[in-house]
Structure 1
């Protein structure tokens, strides 16, 4: 099984809009394995019973939480380092009073040991969309493509727009948000599974 990924455009400051935009790969996860499978696979590799493994994993979770909450890094040989990361709950300045009350846990971060990276083996990847020739379209060109598309289609999904315009996913989402703000597209699906249809401001409605 290979790691699936898609291409996204790198963010760039607004004052650097000239020239070719660079891309970066982002993983589309193949799935998630849970504690049951991890426990079973550990048990297969040692003399512990699955009950013993459950107890060890439970104790490890508690110990990690206690030590991280004490401001320590935790290093597990062959796995890596865990450490807490903080953030503020609101903008803080020198004049802010009771600054310590504005702090919260942002995340528990992880840095892998080389031994764990070595277990990764040879990297096998597969692009979800193959080799693409990303286009730099103007808003007017996108309008014309959508006009033609909706002559033969009743609705559009994000990846339909992406394929139609030959764009990276992040670029497609940026244009879809713009088109929604302009009233040219509207979502008749859900937030997680949007389905776009022509909006009240759709240019094709005036033809």
Structure 2
């Protein structure tokens, strides 16, 4: 297997720096069920062992991160919190603090061992493959949305990808455009978007 990528023209502020950018044309997302099945075949661990271990690991990682610690998983890398909030200056002490602080994301820094193993990855240019490399027309998009919403009041990015036969990165770009145009409205989270019909 090879990592598929496409070369796309840059837009916006990036256009001044380079005419083309590399975008991974991801095959899809591999979940715990698939990983458990593969690990079950390769080791003495059962699916239940793996799922239980991962659940326990997640719980402990959350606890450690919320205590302000960085978590290191040997062979994988380091996990740490990225925090955001409103910068506030106390009028009396003139000291700064964060107000309404929240976890923006979880930072990940891979171990050198992981990067070394990934250095053997092969890459495949799918820019000029037989698959569609351009964004679908407005008519195709409208027809796909009508079909998807006729089947369910809620759609995901993967539904757009399947209905329009486009790559996952392109589906994400399209969903952002449709959301900006008011044709889709996100009722999920920032990182797990679920769309209903927009007002336009």
Matches within 5 A, 1:6-155: 6=6, 7-9=8-10, 11-12=12-13, 21-88=18-85, 90=86, 92-94=87-89, 99-120=97-118, 121-129=120-128, 155=139
Unaligned runs of 5+ in 2: 130-136, 142-169, 186-194, 196-200
What is the deviation of 1:114?
Answer: 2.0
Q: TM-score, normalised by structure 1?
A: 0.54
Task: Output the aligned Cα RMSD.
Answer: 3.9
1:10–1:21 CA contact under 8 A, matched in 2: no
Q: TM-score, normalised by structure 2?
A: 0.55
Unaligned runs of 5+ in 1: 131-152, 158-168, 178-185, 193-207
1:10–1:23 CA contact under 8 A, matched in 2: no
What is the deviation of 1:190?
Answer: 5.8
Looking at secondary structure, tell me which structure has more strand per residue.
Answer: 2
Larger Rg, first or second structure (1 or 2): 1
